[in-house]
């Protein structure tokens, strides 16, 4: 195997451009690492080596990642050459008649896509343990822990060094949770920054968006630059960028007002290691000259979580209904797991008026969170309230969907920060600045006002330079 530990995707592409490595050598290396490590991780599925080799032979686009091995999340990113399971037996081996806009833009960067990565059924949950993959996806830092969800396969694959960069998506933290769990950088852009079409009009009332898992800020910045902008007919668009993500990280941002929250946004305590991560990040930011002061955003956080849970239940029910309609039959034993069944049952109790009221609650919450940035430029918190959870804690073999989400010890207790910014549409990122006393990654969460993506990613880049994380690697990376 090649020793590529010192290279991110940008650096690998530079080696290919100089002729020091070939796309074929990088693909061979990635496939060899998958053969060795994937049985332990269960992160990569539906390998299409033949398609990858044909793409190399045909000539790759001359983009920023020309020749770099790449993975698609097994949820969304529809592509003719890459069928998907969408994390579910019901959708196993689903084929698509055309490529999605986001897939076309990713391919134009010159990446060599060769497989998909695991995700939980319907993208629900902070762990990736879908039955269609035969078992849980595990964290390369500790195989007894989850790699996160719903982009858990991508997080595990990048953290273990199988690829330097992978696709994900984020409807309630699904990029940032794996980033925190696996010691990676994950960025959720402003609502509608990337295209959803043509297969989806919007995800979860506008709360879901594509994203990426990487070991460096510049890799994510370059891929987001390549993918940003609406597709034709998009129902709404994000405010235009001033210069782009890569240009934004070329210089530090102005000195910013940082609002530091050491608890959850409703004032509940978080794990001591997570609180220590926030304190550490605050000190680093102060040393960089930013103004750091305690704050807690005042908004109806519990009301938002209730509305989010209703919207996602309805979205899950619609997805299952469409899957059954495509098969021309009713639901059968083994089609879906317990949490999806529970979501469907809950959705049956939600009227059309109830659904619209939930969307209205989310929109009102977005306005409350917009006001939170009147007194600060950045909200700093932990990404998760605890270190990465043990495998099995968020398994889908139960049907109490609402308790799973909002009950004691449930998803929102574990991940109380991320969904806030899906609901508000504001940009947010998880930065791997800290580790627990036991050596597990602990992400720090940074969020900015709507449309202020460039300020946020410039700050992330400044933190990367001040407190580097690139050389922190899990045991499986070696």
- The CA distance from 14 to 77, in Å, is 26
Active site residue 174: yes
CA distances, 188 to each of 212, 385, 420 (Å): 8, 19, 12
- The CA distance from 247 to 249, in Å, is 6
| DSSP class of 252 | P
Q: Which of 300, 278, 266 has the alpha carbon at shortest distance from 384?
A: 278
Bridge partners, 145 (sequence order): 390
Asked if residues 318 and 340 have their Cβ atoms less than 8 Å apart, the reply is no
Bridge partners, 382 (sequence order): 444
Name the active-site residue from 73, 188, 310, 341: 73
Bridge partners, 209 (sequence order): 170
| DSSP class of 352 | H
| DSSP class of 310 | H
Q: Which of 173, 79, 65 has the alpha carbon at shortest distance from 110?
A: 65
Task: Tell me how crowded residue 352 is: count the other CB atoms within 10 A of its CB.
Answer: 8
Quick one: which H or E segment has residue 286? Answer: helix 272-287
Bridge partners, 188 (sequence order): 428
Asked if residues 85 and 93 have their Cβ atoms less than 8 Å apart, the reply is yes
Name the active-site residue from 100, 147, 150, 461: 150
Name the active-site residue from 174, 181, 214, 430: 174
- The CA distance from 118 to 129, in Å, is 8
Active site residue 73: yes
- Beta strand extents in 270-395 (DSSP E only): 291-294, 378-382
Query: Which are the contacts of 316, defined by CB distance < 8 A and separation ≥ 6?
Result: 122, 124, 340, 343, 344, 347
Q: Which of 173, 180, 116 has the alpha carbon at shortest distance from 146?
A: 180
Task: Tell me how crowded residue 123 is: count the other CB atoms within 10 A of its CB.
Answer: 28
- Beta strand extents in 48-184 (DSSP E only): 69-73, 112-117, 138-139, 142-146, 165-170
User: Catalytic positions, please?
Assistant: 73, 150, 174
């Amino acid at each position: 195997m090649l020793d590529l530990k010192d290279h991110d995707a940008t650096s690998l592409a530079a080696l290919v451009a100089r002729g020091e490595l070939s796309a074929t050598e990088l693909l061979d290396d990635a496939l060899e690492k998958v053969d060795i490590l994937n049985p332990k991780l269960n992160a990569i599925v539906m390998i299409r080596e033949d398609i990858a080799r044909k793409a190399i032979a045909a000539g790759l686009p001359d983009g920023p990642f020309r020749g770099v091995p790449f993975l698609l999340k097994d949820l969304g990113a529809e592509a003719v050459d890459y069928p998907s399971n969408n994390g579910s037996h019901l959708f196993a081996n689903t084929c698509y008649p055309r490529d999605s806009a986001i897939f076309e833009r990713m391919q134009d960067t010159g990446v060599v896509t060769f497989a998909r990565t695991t995700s939980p059924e319907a993208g629900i949950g902070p762990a990736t343990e879908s039955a269609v993959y035969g078992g849980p996806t595990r964290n390369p830092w500790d195989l007894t822990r989850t790699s996160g969800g719903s982009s858990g396969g991508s997080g595990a694959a990048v953290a273990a060094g199988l690829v330097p960069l992978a696709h994900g998506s984020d409807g309630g933290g699904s990029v940032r949770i794996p980033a925190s769990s696996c010691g990676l950088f994950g960025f959720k852009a402003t609502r509608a920054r990337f295209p959803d079409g043509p297969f989806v009009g919007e995800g979860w009332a506008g709360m879901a968006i594509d994203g990426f898992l990487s070991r460096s800020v510049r890799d994510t910045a370059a891929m987001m630059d390549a993918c940003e902008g609406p597709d034709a007919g998009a129902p709404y668009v994000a405010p235009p960028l001033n210069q782009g993500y890569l240009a934004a990280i070329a210089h530090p941002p102005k000195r910013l007002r940082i609002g530091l929250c050491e608890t959850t946004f409703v004032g509940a305590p978080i794990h001591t290691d997570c609180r220590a991560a926030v304190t550490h990040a605050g000190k680093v930011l102060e040393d960089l000259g930013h103004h750091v002061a305690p704050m807690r955003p005042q908004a109806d956080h519990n009301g938002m979580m209730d509305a989010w849970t209703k919207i996602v239940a309805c979205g899950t029910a619609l997805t299952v209904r469409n899957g059954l309609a495509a098969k021309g039959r009713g639901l059968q034993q083994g089609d879906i797991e317990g949490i999806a069944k529970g979501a469907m049952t809950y959705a049956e109790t939600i009227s059309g008026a109830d659904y619209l009221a939930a969307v209205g609650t989310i929109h009102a919450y977005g306005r409350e969170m917009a006001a939170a940035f009147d007194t600060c430029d950045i909200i700093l918190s932990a990404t998760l309230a605890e270190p990465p959870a043990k495998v099995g804690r968020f398994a889908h073999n139960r049907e109490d969907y609402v308790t799973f989400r909002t009950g004691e010890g449930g998803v929102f207790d574990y991940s109380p920060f991320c969904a806030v910014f899906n609901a508000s549409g504001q940009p947010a990122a998880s930065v791997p600045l800290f580790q627990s006393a036991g050596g597990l990654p602990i992400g720090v969460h940074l969020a900015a006002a709507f449309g202020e993506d460039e300020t946020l990613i410039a700050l992330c880049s400044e933190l990367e330079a001040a407190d580097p994380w690139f050389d922190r690697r899990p045991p499986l990376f070696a």
